Amino acid sequence: MTTKLETELHGKIKSRKLKAGIIGLGYVGLPLAVEFAKAGVEVHGIDIDSRKVDAIRKGKSYIQDVPSREVEKLVSEKKLHATSDFSVLRELDTVNICVPTPLRKSKDPDISYIVSAAQEIARYFHKGMLVILESTTYPGTTEEVILPMLEAKRLKVGRDFFLAFSPERVDPGNPQYQTRNIPKVVGGATSACTRLAAAFYELAIAKVHPVSSCASAEMVKLLENTFRSVNIGLVNELCLMSEKLGADIWEIIDAAATKPFGFMPFYPGPGLGGHCIPIDPHYLAWKARIHGFNPRFIELASAVNAEMPEFVVRKVQAILNEKGKAIKGAKILVLGLSYKKNVDDIRESPALEILELLEKNGAAVSYSDPHVPELTLHGRTHRSVSLTSAKKKFDMAVLVTDHSGFDYAAIAKSFPLILDTRNAFRGIAAKNIRRI
């Protein structure tokens, strides 16, 4: 049965006469805000970081995939607003929560940012509001954590207000798939919640896929990234095994990929990075343990992936030893600092751990990354080295992130030793290049 409040909000959505809020203006929130504003919705972005708020108000983007010209245009048209004042929630019809969900040192979920956002929403909550959580979290968070906070206002979900979960699927640096054309999964606390959330996303997203519940939608994101973590863990283990067997894992994967069915190629690397793949499986594993299930497969894959930076450093040491050099005192250049190619995001990047491990072993380490001009690590500031000036100044280069902007042919001629962790030097025949 459709309620009066559902009908009213659905009418606002269809006519685009609603005011939408987005809490958290980072890699997920800002692109989402821009897409809804481009669709004709008045969007109010909320963030406690005054630097982000000031940048948006000035029409400037700090997210690589969002052009400043789009932000400037939408701000001038009064379709995109930014504030640190949560009281604006009183005026809003919908609000999306797009805040970080890191891990604690114990590898347990830290949903404190979600709780803080929900507390602010509850403070300014009103009838007819649609609340959607997008932050990646364990199954049950939406209805076990957020729902009780909102129903404490003596309002009933599905009748007086609406609540849903829709997992973010942002892939920074991907020119083909961005916010608008990545299908949106959505699950509500009730069927009315799902209908309204789906209608809302259909304003700005090309395809919306409803599921039966918030928990199902929460599980979707964890399945997607656990799938990747487990398969990367498998191929990383095969990489370690292949070294013992004297086999070329890259050749083996290429050959296996010629099979037109039943095989999907994954590739080894120096470790996992970014906010999702190294973290999301731990959210799922934690929830499984709470229910008395031992997620052995997930945890083994995470353990294998976590070992890769140390494997890279051991490989560096072995290569130097072959040439009669010690790692202590060796001048080493790390090529690429971000967690994936062609982005400036260093969250959870394996390059950071590799850099630290090399320094702990006594190496003199520098880095070069066209997307990360400066890095502050443990109070020390490192600056990206120009590859032109780096020629012949280093004993070895370690390719960690395979940016398209690197001239691999020139690099191959510039360093006496190179360890390639991404097969980026494929096709370049040179005796100074080794691969993991």
pLDDT in tens, the chain (436 residues): 789 999 999 999 999 999 999 999 999 999 999 999 999 999 999 999 999 999 999 999 999 999 999 999 999 999 999 999 999 999 999 999 999 999 988 888 999 999 999 999 999 999 999 999 999 999 999 999 999 999 988 899 999 999 999 999 999 889 899 999 999 999 999 999 999 999 999 999 999 999 999 999 999 999 999 999 999 999 999 999 999 999 999 999 999 999 999 999 999 999 999 988 899 999 999 999 999 999 999 999 999 999 999 999 999 999 999 999 999 999 999 999 999 999 999 999 999 999 999 999 999 999 999 999 999 888 888 899 999 877 778 999 999 999 999 999 999 999 999 999 999 999 998 999 999 9
Going by C-alpha positions, the residue among 367, 373, 409, 417 that lies closest to residue 392 is 417
Task: Give the distance, in angstroms, between the CA of residue 283 and the centroid of all CA atoms in the same chain.
Answer: 14
Token pair recorded at residue 21: 């809020």
d(CA 378, CA 432): 33
Q: What is each CA distance from 211 to 4, 186, 259, 309, 397, in whole angstroms? A: 24, 6, 33, 38, 48
CA-to-CA distance for 429 and 357, rounded, in angstroms?
A: 29
Pick the CATH number of 4-212 from 1.10.357.140, 3.40.50.1400, 3.90.1170.30, 3.40.50.720: 3.40.50.720
- What is the number of residues in the chain? 436
Q: Is 276 a catalytic residue?
A: yes
Long-range contacts of the stretch 171-177 (C-beta < 8 A, 24+): 172/27, 172/64, 172/65, 172/274, 172/340, 172/343, 172/345, 173/64, 173/65, 173/340, 173/341, 173/342, 173/343
The counts of H helices and E strands in the chain are 15, 15
At 161 the three-state DSSP class reads: strand
Q: Give Cβ neighbours of residue 370 (< 8 Å, ≥ 6 apart).
A: 384, 403, 405, 406
- Amino acid identity of residue 4, one-letter, is K
Domains 4-212 and 232-435 share a fold: yes
**So where are the chain's domains?**
4-212, 232-435
Give me the CATH topology for the region 232-435: Rossmann fold (3.40.50)
